[in-house]
Structure 1
Amino acid sequence: MTSPTQRVCFQLQVAPELLDEYIARHSPVWPEMLAEIAASGRRNYSLFVGEGGRLIGYYETDDDAAAQAYLAASPVAARWEAEMGRFFTGLEGRPDQASTPLTEIFNLHDQLTESTRS
């Protein structure tokens, strides 16, 4: 039996005066960093930016703790996060390790699946 996919959503705050540069730094992300994200087991990864620099991230993984550990030990991710850290406000430590997780309260697929079982 396979473990269910974990959906992870998080929030960070980009300093508004650095938002244009932050967006530019993601167009494109370093190829070696993209490879590390994939190797960690994260997939379907997206970042969304809102008014005032509010950043919402989302990804799916089979084991978030393992993905976090992989990236925490990655020299490539450490270099990337060291460069990205200056863009964020109210953050202690590496952005990929210190973001605020959000709690999922609704998922259409899960509820549709459950309703067909009833």
Structure 2
Amino acid sequence: MKRIAQVMYINPDCYDEYAKRHAEIWPEMKKLLKEYGATNYSIYLNRDNGQTLAYLEVPDIGTYNAIAKTDTCQKWWHYMAPVMKTNSDESPIADDLEEVFHLN
């Protein structure tokens, strides 16, 4: 199992809306995440600076990354774009973190 951690950036006035949208995640998006291998997925928000830490586990990173090409994922990005910093294709700006320690 591969572990993924990323930092993303929420707009300062949108913290509650970001949390609300994830609390009400579309069933089809939730199903898609599981179909593409995501497990143990959590997102943490730092309300002091708007950064999130997303952590998930996947069997294969390439398979998981293919989720970006699906209509459902792209619609989710469009839905989330008003509340977070995004790239020109509306994907979230996400900085990958390098794992430097893991306690098994």
TM-score (norm 1): 0.80
Identity score, percent = 28
2: CA distance between counterparts of 1:8 and 1:25?
22
Counterpart CA distance in 2 for 1:108 and 1:35 is: 30
Letter in 2 for 1:68: N
Question: 1:48 — aligned with what?
Answer: 44
Q: Deviations over 1:55-107 (max 9, x none)?
A: 110000111111111x1221111111111122223x32312xx4110011000
User: Which residue number corresponds to residue 12 of structure 1?
Assistant: 8
Q: What is the TM-score when the length of structure 2 is the normalising length?
A: 0.90
Match status 1:102 vs 2:97: yes
**Residue 63 of structure 2 is aligned to residue 31 of structure 1:** no
Q: Please, what is the CA RMSD of the aligned residues?
A: 1.2
Q: Count residues in correspondence.
A: 101
Q: Which has the higher helix share?
A: 1
User: Aligned partners of 2:81 and 2:63: how far apart in 1?
Assistant: 22
Q: Structure 1 runs of 4+ off > 3 angstroms?
A: none
Structure 2: any 5+ residue segments left out of the alignment?
A: none
